[in-house]
Amino acid sequence: MTTRDGLAEKHCAVSGIGQSDVGRRLGRDPLELTLDACYAAVADAGLTPADIDGLSTYPGGMAVPKGFTGASAYETLDAMRLEVNWFDSGVETSGQLGSVMKACMAIGAGMADHVLCFRSVWEGSAQGAGGRASLGPGGGQGGTIYAGDFQQWMLPFGSAGAPIWVALFAQAHMQRYGTTPEQLAQIALNARRNAGLNPKAIYRDPMTLEDYFNSRMITTPLRLFDCDVPCDGATAFVVSRRALAEDLAKPPVYIEAMGAALHDRPSWDQLRDLTRTVGADAAAQMWSRTTLTPADVDIAEIYDGFSYLTMLWLEALGLCGTGESGPFVEGGTRIALEGSLPLNTAGGQLSAGRLHGYGFFHEACVQLRGEGGARQVASRPKVAAVAAGGGNTCGCFLLSTES
Amino acid sequence: MTEPSTLVVLPVLTERNRHFWQGGAQGHLTFLRCQTCGYYLHPPIPVCPVDQSKDLKPEAVSGRATLASYSVNHHPWLPGFELPYVVALVEIPEQPALRLTTNLVNCPLDEIEIGMALRVVFRHFEDPGGDVWLPLFEPDGDRP
Ligand SMILES: [Zn+2]
């Protein structure tokens, strides 16, 4: 491993955060939501758009699926009249937060000083207007649908998307380690408890274990409440050069380490071990870039596109032992706001809305700054683990209040 | 089994994948195999990742498999699929971690067990672009 100074993230801190309105179906122009988040992040840092000299986003401009991206890099650069020294977007990266890693690399490489990062979705409105395009070909009566590329190995068998692919992993974990549906439920119940304290969360009504088990079975063992809720909303950060961030409006949130590694096949069914995530590769890399250890983590903000992915990440990050995520979350007390490892303190994507990876990073910054309001973890966390993605696209961060 | 090609999802046949999707015509589950080192390449690609050989040929395997995982799907993601249906991940014994995503058929839901012995059964679809035989898997009554 290279020296500390050689690591890009050691030159970086989050100086500003911003988020648009978030709702199930806002019916607003997604570019407007994007700009609301971006301008808010810039202002939060005490900067102006003229100070922004870099831009990074996930996934950027894409034709499909509808609602998956609210604004491209070009649209946002132009709408804000930014003059940048570096910019990037792309979907083939280490999870949604791969875009934030690239921002750190740009700063570490001397290409920029203040990089605006954003993720914008309008899947709630898009799906309200006509089905979830991300789950394969649309409806239609009669005829044959043809699947090419990767989808040819999935769609002919009705393996129509991530819910089923993740369900297959979850079932294997249950078989191998004895993980129970009651344990899985804790991820959803914890998210809902915390969402009740987050005024921007989509679903805030209390959920009981009985409510969870009464929710519709989607694909065993995943129920409706194991699946995140599509929404409209945008989230943005300004990642700044540390030396500059320290003189800005808010206390910097330091980027202590990041992980992007992918050592297994980028596949949903050819993995070496079905009960392990490629997030474990990313996490191992992250821990290799810091002197901190899993014992130093005060809060965890972990992707819950499906509840099981959070459990898998808890193991990957070393926050519990391999195969032990079930007992770790059992009963929900350990992961509650008052517990030893508060988890998904804003309600996660399960209850607060599928802001797609960026919501977790945002909430980690909120908590580390002590700006969580009713949901603020009282012990004032100093170190947060943030992880996003699942399947073949995983990335993680360690954020800290101390440099 | 022969099914009319209505309301189904079929693979786009290409030179690269034809052996896999049409192997069922001879009753064989067929993978591309490196003739130099014996590695099965799935999904099929033009160069062996083990030894960079381009001497690759489709070869039949036994058609046996074990159930690595499954999910009983109750949600109508796609038209033309009768609910519920069982999506299965099956392990092909000829090579570690060589798996297929497929359907488990001819098996009562309460008899599904990870690790159970399976065998391939093909479902034939006529199609103007070339007939397709989807490899599905059923319990292998001849093995415990
Ligand atoms: Zn070879």
Q: Which of A139, A141, A145 sits opposite B9 (nearest CB)?
A: A145
Residue to test with chain B: of A134, A135, A152, A272, most B Cβ within 10 A: A152
Chain A residues within an 8 Å CB radius of B68 = 172, 274
Among B72, B81, B114, select the one facing A220 at the smallest CB separation: B72
**Cβ–Cβ gap A175/B69 under 8 Å:** yes
Reduced DSSP (H G I as helix, E B as strand, rest coil) percent helix, strand, coil of chain A, to 5: 35, 20, 45
Closest Cα of chain A to B141: distance in Å?
A: 22
Q: What string of H, E and C letters represents the secondary structure of A276-300?
A: CCCHHHHHHHHHCCCCCCHHHCCEE
Mean pLDDT of the region A79-88: 98
**Eight-state DSSP code of residue B110:** G
The answer to whether A175 contacts B12, with C-beta atoms less than 8 Å apart, is no
Per the omega criterion (within 30 degrees of 0), is the bond before A59 cis? yes
CA of B41 to the centre of ligand 1 (A): 9
SS3 A73: helix
Q: How many residues does this entry show for chain B?
A: 144
Name the residue facing A157 among B69, B98, B101 (closest C-beta): B101
Contact A21, A202 (CB under 8 A): no
Cα(B57) to centroid of ligand 1, in Å?
Answer: 11
pLDDT top residue among B86 and A128: B86
Sign of CA dihedral B66, A392, A132, A192: positive
How confident is the model at residue A142, as a pLDDT?
58
Is the CB of A156 less than 8 angstroms away from the CB of B10? yes
Q: Which residues of B touch A135 (CB under 8 A)?
A: 77
What dihedral angle (degrees, nearest 10) is formed by the CA atoms of B54, B60, B63, B66? -20
User: Which comes out higher in pLDDT, residue A132 or A244?
Assistant: A244
DSSP class of residue B13? P
Q: What pLDDT is attached to residue A141?
A: 47
Return the residue of A nearest to B98 by Cα. Answer: A270
Residue contact A168–B70, C-beta within 8 A:
yes
Amino acid at the residue A71? A
Q: Is the pLDDT of residue A233 over 60?
A: yes
User: Per the CATH hierarchy, to which homologous superfamily does domain A4-127+229-400 belong?
Assistant: Thiolase/Chalcone synthase (3.40.47.10)
Nearest-by-CA chain A residue for B8: A144
- What pLDDT is stored for residue A220 in this prediction? 98
Smallest Cα distance from A96 to chain B, Å: 24
Q: Burial level of B142, CB count in 10 A (0-12/13-18/19+)?
A: exposed
pLDDT averaged over every residue in chain B: 94
User: At residue A135, does pLDDT exceed 70?
Assistant: no
Q: Which residues surround ligand 1, an ion (CB under 5 A)?
A: B 34, 36-37, 39, 48, 50-51, 53
Chain B residue numbers touching A392 (CB-CB < 8 A)? none
Start-to-end C-alpha separation, chain B: 25
Most A CBs within 10 Å, among B13, B32, B77, to test the A interface = B77
What confidence tier does B144 reach under pLDDT thresholds 50, 70, 90?
Answer: low
Task: Tell me how far CA of residue A200 lies from CA of A104, A203, A231, A346, in angstroms.
Answer: 28, 9, 11, 9
Mean pLDDT of B12-29: 97
- Among residues A28, A15, A25, the alpha carbon closest in space to that of A117 is found at A15
Nearest Cα neighbor of B131 from B16, B18, B7 is: B18
In the block, residue with structure tokens 């409209």: A232
User: B23: which residues sit within 8 A by CB, 6+ positions away?
Assistant: B29, B30, B58, B60, B133, B135
For A260-299, b/e burial (b = at least 16 CB within 10 A) is bbbebeebbbbbeebbbbbbbbbbebbbebbebebeebbb
Residue A378 structure tokens: 């009282």
ipTM: 0.95
In contact, A275 and A177? CB cutoff 8 Å: yes
Q: How far is B14 from chain A (nearest CA, A)?
A: 9
pLDDT for position A133: 39
Q: Exposed/middle/buried for A4, CB within 10 Å: 0-12, 13-18, 19+?
A: exposed
**Residue A129 neighbours by CB distance under 10 Å:** 12
pLDDT at A130 over 80: no
How much distance in Å is there from the Cα of B47 to the middle of ligand 1? 8
pLDDT in tens, A182-212: 999 999 999 999 999 999 999 999 999 999 9
* Whole-number pLDDT of residue B5: 38
Q: What's the angle, vertex CA A54, arms to CA A52 and CA A58, rounded to 5?
A: 120
Q: How many CB pairs under 8 A join A and B?
A: 130
pLDDT in tens, A310-339: 999 999 999 999 999 999 999 999 999 999
A29 CA from centroid of ligand 1 (Å): 52
Residues of chain B with C-beta less than 8 angstroms from the C-beta of A140? 79
Whether residues B87 and A137 touch (CB distance < 8 A) is answered with no
Of A127, A105, A307, A99, residue with least CA distance to A231: A127
pLDDT at A153: 98
Q: Residue A76 corresponds to which tokens in the numbers above? A: 């946002």
Which candidate from B43, B72, B127 shows the least CB-CB separation from A144?
Answer: B127
Residues from A contacting B (CB-CB < 8 Å) are 135-137, 139-148, 150, 152-161, 163-164, 167-169, 171-172, 175, 216-222, 268-272, 274
Q: Is B94's pLDDT higher than 80?
A: yes
Q: Identify the sign of the CA torsion B59, B64, B70, B72.
A: positive
Chain segment B35-66, per-residue pLDDT in tens: 999 999 999 999 999 999 999 999 999 999 99
Q: CA nearest A270: which of B70, B80, B41, B66?
A: B41
Which of A132 and A143 is assigned the larger pLDDT?
A143
Reply yes or no: is the peptide bond before residue B96 cis, omega within 30 of 0: no
CB atoms A219 and B8 under 8 Å: no
* A393-400, strands of its sheet edge to edge: A86-89, A54-57, A114-122, A232-241, A12-19, A253-259, A393-400, A383-390, A299-302
Inter-chain CB proximity A146 and B11 less than 8 Å:
yes
Cα–Cα distance for residue pair B143/A313, rounded to 1 Å: 37
- Write the residue in A143, A144, A164 that is nearest to B71 by C-beta: A164
CA B9 – CA A178 distance, rounded (Å):
35
Q: What secondary structure does DSSP assign to A191-247, as a single string?
A: HHHHHTT-TT-S--S---HHHHHHSPEEETTEEGGGB----EEEEEEEEEEHHHHTT
Centroid of ligand 1 to alpha carbon of B55 (angstroms): 8
pLDDT above 70: residue A60? yes
Q: Is A211 exposed, middle or buried (0-12, 13-18, 19+ CB in 10 A)?
A: middle
CA of B30 relative to ligand 1 center, distance in Å: 17
Average pLDDT, chain A: 95
pLDDT at residue number A46: 98
- A104 near A254, Cβ under 8 Å? no
Q: Which residues of B touch A157 (CB under 8 A)?
A: 87, 101-103, 134, 136
**Cα separation, B24 vs B6, whole angstroms:** 19
Closest CB to B71 among A145, A153, A219 = A219
* Domain boundaries defined on chain B: 18-139
**Extents of the domains making up chain A:** 4-127+229-400
Chain A partners of B100 at a C-beta cutoff of 8 Å?
A: 153, 269
Say whether A147 and B11 touch across the interface (CB within 8 A): yes
Residue A140 scores a pLDDT above 50: no
3-state class (DSSP) for residue A64 = coil
